[in-house]
Amino acid sequence: MRRPRVAVAGVPGAWSSERLAAALRAAGAESEIIELARCQLRLPDGRLCHQDRLVDDLDGVAVKKIGDTAEGWVVQERIALLRHLEATGVAVLSEPDRLERAVNRYRMTLELARAGLPVPETVITEDAAQAAAVVEEFGTAVLKPLFTSKGRGMRLLVKGEGVAEALEAHRDAGAGPYYLQRFVRHPGRDLGIAVLDGQFLGAYWRVAGADRWMTTIHAGGRYAPADPPEAAVDLAVRAARHFGLVFTGVDLVETPDVGFAVLEVSAFGGFRGLEVACGIDAAARLAGVLLARLRTARA
């Protein structure tokens, strides 16, 4: 019986992409990494080439990363490419339509609010004067780009402290509308909860570095084991199931009333926090789920 061919949409040499490809091979699949930025789609016949080599006979594509998503057009182009593959009968996991809902921070937050899930107070506007008024109202706000992850490009804006200059820099960088979220005064940490196939997989704290407001590893934070309350796990699972992603990380922040709010549902999910803090090999777990879904689809 032919081994299934499952490509990983990711970045060759990147830790998480390589881990997933290796896990798929260990689980019995043939796997390689294709970088969407290095693909070309030839029409009208619909041939997909990666670095000038034809990519064919794929059973599935596991989407780990679609590359630098700082530009909105990049997201749209690469999601369209994945949709094309899906239309030709290749199983794309997670499905492109589900990825698109989560990868755009504007759309992701709107989906969470529509689902009745708690999110920090958020305002999105293209008007700089309105954005400045929002910072005045919030006192402290986080200005976030729409298409980045791991805290890249985020700015903490404090009432009366260079707000106009920060908004101008955001506009001049072509970073899109002003997405402003009320800063939640957390206890120096936030909670990452991983959900696989709609079920809780593990949780970890991201603990901020000294004198840092941001908790991400790129900002000097560190991972620590977490034993989250049942309410936090239930909230994360509800958020993940709303998006229907195969594997995701849901970021929660503790609120002053000792509850939790949802900051983000990741389109792709991360492996490292689970491994460092919990000793969980998420790549192997995900590979098993992906291949099980392919077997079901082919049955």
- Structural domain spans, the chain: 6-93+284-298, 122-182, 187-268
To the question of domain 187-268 being in CATH 3.30.470.20, the answer is yes
CB atoms within 10 A of CB 120: 17
Structure-block tokens of residue 132: 């400045």
pLDDT the model gives residue 151: 67
Tokens of 146: 């729409």
Please give the model's pTM, rounded to 2 decimal places.
Answer: 0.93
pLDDT for the residue 83: 94
Q: Contact 17/10 with Cβ under 8 angstroms?
A: yes
The pLDDT value given to residue 72? 74
**How would CATH label the architecture of 6-93+284-298?**
3-Layer(aba) Sandwich (3.40)
Give CATH for domain 122-182: 3.30.1490.20
Q: Helix 105-114 vs helix 96-103: angle between axes, to the nearest 10 degrees? A: 100
Residue with tokens 């599935």: 60
Q: Is the Cβ–Cβ distance between 124 and 177 less than 8 Å? A: yes
User: Cis peptide leading into 94, omega within 30 of 0?
Assistant: yes
User: Which among 232, 231, 206 has a CA at the least distance from the CA of 219?
Assistant: 206
- Residue pair 99/86 in contact by the 8 Å Cβ criterion: no
Mean pLDDT in each 10-residue stretch from start to end of the chain (299 residues)?
A: 90 95 97 94 89 89 82 85 93 95 94 96 96 97 86 87 93 88 91 98 92 81 94 97 97 89 95 96 98 85
CA distance 10 to 23: 14
Distance between CA atoms of 184 and 19, rounded to whole angstroms? Answer: 34
What does the pLDDT read at residue 70? 60
Q: Which of 218, 215, 191 is nearest to 204 (CA)?
A: 191
CA angle, 39 then 286 then 91, to 5° = 45
Long-range contacts of 255-259 (CB under 8 A, 24+ apart): 255/118, 255/184, 256/184, 256/185, 259/118, 259/231
Question: Could you tell me which of 72, 39, 37, 35 has the C-alpha nearest to residue 148?
Answer: 72
